[in-house]
Structure 1
Amino acid sequence: MTAALTTPQPVVTPPPSEPGGSRKRRRSYDEPPRWQIYLPLGVYLVFTLVPFYWMLLFALREPGSDSLVPWPITGEHFAKVWNERGFDTYFVNSMYVGIASMLMTLLVALSGGYALARFKFRMRMPFMLALLCSQFIPGALMLVPLFEIFRELTLLNSLWSVIIAETVFQLPLSMILISGFIRNVPPSLEEQAWVDGCSRFRAFLAVVLPLLRPGLVAVGSFAFVHSWNHFLFALMFLNSQDKQTIPVGLNTLLGSDSVDLGALAAGGVVAAVPVVIVFAFIQRWLITGFSAGAVKG
């Protein structure tokens, strides 16, 4: 009886599993096949890059050529739009408007966003709702009131009229975005700075502002690109040719009877290059800024 109870039972060992089999099986359930990812991305990339290729093709190939490859490459169209059509002046004006609008938008949005994030007042939510609703108002609807205001202020045919209009129309969304970034900064960090003797303004500059750098880059880049590409305000508020911006300069290349496709494509390249350079240098900050403004569960 005792011997029967103490007899060891045979140990059943499972068959050897394939190395990494469970990992592969788990990945097959979690991730779709690679072709289901790369095929839609490839189609999207083709639809995105083909217009840019055609623009570069018309800008770089010789006049009258119908080749699908820009060879031999010529810079005749770029020289024409830069020297004869005044794109050197348009470029400087657009850069001035874009940088000034970006800085003014960030300055005002920082102060307003901090107030929305850190202070509680009675009309806070209705105010934020009004900011959101203002985004549904098209800019064309405000052209006549803005024109009358700038005429009374003698700002017509001045780049400052475009800068102020761009800043006003970009402020609501920029303020809401920056307030979301500030909410992600713990108030305890500012309180510790207050205990150390810092004022609220100094604590904001020393503690909060460095943590907002990715969000400020994201908001500022979109403010710059919007001001760079906007056509309507520059067309309505600027009269003389030496005050026009690049979008209006591109419109002057469209004739009533014919269109110089080479010059128009070269002007489009000149307009697109600064935006591409900006996003190429700040893409890391953009991704960080978007993740910083995300809602954490």
Structure 2
Amino acid sequence: MTAALAEKSPGAPAPARNATPPRARGTARRRGLDDGPPRWQIYLPLGIYLLFTLIPFYWMLLFALRPSGSTSLVPWPVTTEHFEKVWNERNFGTYFLNSTQVGIASMVMTMLVALAGGYALARFRFRLKNAFMLALLCSQFIPGALMLVPLFETFRNLQLINSMWSVIIAETVFQLPLSMILISGFIKNVPESLEEAAWVDGCSRLRAFLAIVLPMLRPGLIAVGSFAFVHSWNHFLFALMFLSSQDKQTIPVGLNTLIGADSVDLGALAAGGVVAAVPVVIIFAFIQKWLITGFSAGAVKG
């Protein structure tokens, strides 16, 4: 009746014939999104990539968990003999502890020096600043193998050969250029006006940095620190060249000792690989959110 009166009223506007209800518009939008490629064209390549990625890990777990001499493609019955062998007989407990010490020390030293250098690159202006940044980038193209002889001579003169400090210093030096560049990008994303407001309130530059800038760098510090730790954990060359005592070796060198001249104990080697991989997987499982946020934040400004 109301619609009929509206149609009879001379001054009433004509109702819209093609008006679409909100629910119908939402349905139309969803249909428009579904007009893209079929889902199988997206999930099939991803599934194939995931399959090729996980097969090596499954193969490693298979050799580590199945009994010696078994040819089954399923690790059943599950055994821990290979883990007991590498941990007790092959001294992997010591290797694990040494790798942890090297990784944590390198990570802390890298983050401290990168914070100071990155802040200087982000906040101060000085001559040849761009040339210095270019030199930092170019240093990433120098492989560590080219620096073994000068590093060995330097550490021998400092009496650091067969000392874990030689590996820690070498790892820190080689990770600093990229870490400084990333940290400088993170600091540039923090407005300088926040520090200036703290200076007006009576804070020194150091106190303003610790109270204002440092808490906002948490995602970036987690990204840089995790990258430094994993690089030190997995690096093989420096530990092999600078450490001669077996009780000071790290996990990568310990894995190399499982490969004999005439035979390879695949079960022990796979168990050692699991021992080396599990801590890294656990770390990235907990920090993946901060890692992605940190690297994306550092890529905004160079």
- TM-score normalized by structure 1? 0.93
The separation in 1 between residues aligned to 2:205 and 2:25, in whole angstroms, is: 59
Pairing 1:92–2:97 present: yes
Structure 2 counterpart of 1:23, from 24, 29, 34: 29
The separation in 1 between residues aligned to 2:82 and 2:124, in whole angstroms, is: 55
Match of 1:198 in 2: 203
Mapping for residues 142-161 of structure 1, pairs under 5 Å: 142-161=147-166
- Per-residue CA deviations over 1:191-235 (Å, capped at 9, x if unaligned) read 011011100000000000000000000000010000000000000
Given residue 18 of structure 2, which amino acid in structure 1 is its aligned partner? P
Once the two structures are TM-superposed, the CA of residue 11 in structure 1 deviates from its matched residue by 5.6
The separation in 1 between residues aligned to 2:52 and 2:224, in whole angstroms, is: 27
Structure 2 counterpart of 1:113, from 118, 141, 144: 118
The separation in 1 between residues aligned to 2:170 and 2:29, in whole angstroms, is: 56
1:258–1:198: structure 2 CA closer, same or farther, 3 Å change rule? same
1:9–1:234: structure 2 CA closer, same or farther, 3 Å change rule? closer
- List runs of 5+ in structure 1 lacking aligned partners: 1-5
- SS of residue in 1 equivalent to 2:141: coil
Pairing 1:78–2:86 present: no
- SS of residue in 2 equivalent to 1:135: helix
Pairing 1:276–2:298 present: no
The separation in 1 between residues aligned to 2:141 and 2:16, in whole angstroms, is: 71
- SS of residue in 2 equivalent to 1:185: coil
C-alpha RMSD of the superposition: 1.8
- SS of residue in 1 equivalent to 2:61: helix
- TM-score normalized by structure 2? 0.92
Match of 2:4 in 1: none
- Per-residue CA deviations over 1:116-162 (Å, capped at 9, x if unaligned) read 00001111000000000000000000000000000000000000000
The separation in 2 between residues aligned to 1:11 and 1:193, in whole angstroms, is: 61
Match of 1:3 in 2: none
The separation in 2 between residues aligned to 1:257 and 1:266, in whole angstroms, is: 20
1:34–1:157: structure 2 CA closer, same or farther, 3 Å change rule? same
The ranges of structure 1 where at least 4 consecutive aligned residues each deviate by more than 4 angstroms after the TM superposition are 6-12, 15-19
Once the two structures are TM-superposed, the CA of residue 10 in structure 1 deviates from its matched residue by 7.2
Structure 2 counterpart of 1:185, from 183, 190, 196: 190
Once the two structures are TM-superposed, the CA of residue 13 in structure 1 deviates from its matched residue by 1.1
Mapping for residues 26-41 of structure 1, pairs under 5 Å: 26-28=32-34, 32-41=37-46
Once the two structures are TM-superposed, the CA of residue 294 in structure 1 deviates from its matched residue by 3.2
Once the two structures are TM-superposed, the CA of residue 8 in structure 1 deviates from its matched residue by 9.0
